[in-house]
Amino acid sequence: MRLKDKRILVTGSTTGIGKAIARRCHEEGAQVIIHGLEEDLAKATSAELGEAPFHLCDLSDPTTPAQLIAFAVAKLGGLDGLVNNAGVVTRAQPSEMTLEMWDWTYAINVRAPFLLIQAALPELAKGRGRVLNIGSINAHGGESYFAAYASSKGALQTLTRNLGDTLNRDYRVVVNQINPGWVLTENESARKQEDGLDPDWYTKLPKIFAPAGRILKPEEIAAGAVYWLDEDSGPVSGCVVELEQFPAHGRNPDKVDL
């Protein structure tokens, strides 16, 4: 077991990538704290992971990150790892973007991870604590309707590199990030159906979007996450890794109809 007896908090862990990471951490021997918004989903995830403790809170409230860390420390007696997975995917064209949507996106995707790290630092610094931020390949640009979401993930990426240097040097706490590509989560499946696609849309993807014939599974992102929470990754810090099946930059189709 790669994470035996490690104490890890995974935010946004009642569905999708976060749940897959929490499940994999549990399978690898870690004690896990679950976080989310919906009590029914949290209870179901807790039962699946051996009655793991859970805490419900809205991370857009700047007072809740410290409360969540305090809950985790009280339940587990300390903290060895923090996975900042909770995030919101907001979609609006630039002309339609509201100040409220912009601020909400940044509050959850950028401010909350920083406040969680800040609150967890005293515990993480007791050992070689590990922070893993979950970003997105959209940090490099994204579609036209992703101005707030993509730029918030770009900010998170810069925060990872900044804290990855500072906290490793001053506290022996490493901070890294993975940027998942297109992943078949429950929410992504629902969003595409809301956009008018068939329920089985993910089985009909052209290879320009899915060279392997399918998109990634949450469990595959979770497998990558374990490496950064495991001590085998050593002192590597401030690293951002894309987890996608094609290059995030400089990709051109073989044939283009003009």
Residue 99: count of CB within 10 angstroms of its CB: 7
Residue 143: count of CB within 10 angstroms of its CB: 11
Which are the catalytic amino acids? 149
Q: Are residues 223 and 194 in the same domain?
A: no
What's the pLDDT at 258?
47
Q: Are residues 77 and 117 in the same domain?
A: yes
Q: What CA–CA distance (Å, rounded) separates 62 from 225?
A: 26
Instruction: Decide if 252 is inside a domain.
Output: no
- Residue in the structure block whose two tokens are 């809205």: 58
Number of domains in the chain: 2
The per-residue pLDDT for range 145-167, each reduced to its tens digit, is: 999 999 999 999 999 999 999 99
The per-residue pLDDT for range 198-211, each reduced to its tens digit, is: 888 888 888 888 89
Whether pTM > 0.85 for this model: the answer is yes
Residues spanned by the domain of 16: 7-181+218-240
CATH number for the domain harbouring residue 175: 3.40.50.720
- Residue in the structure block whose two tokens are 């495991």: 230
Instruction: Decide if 248 is inside a domain.
Output: no
Q: Which residues of the chain have pLDDT under 70?
A: 250, 252-258
Q: Are residues 132 and 211 in the same domain?
A: no
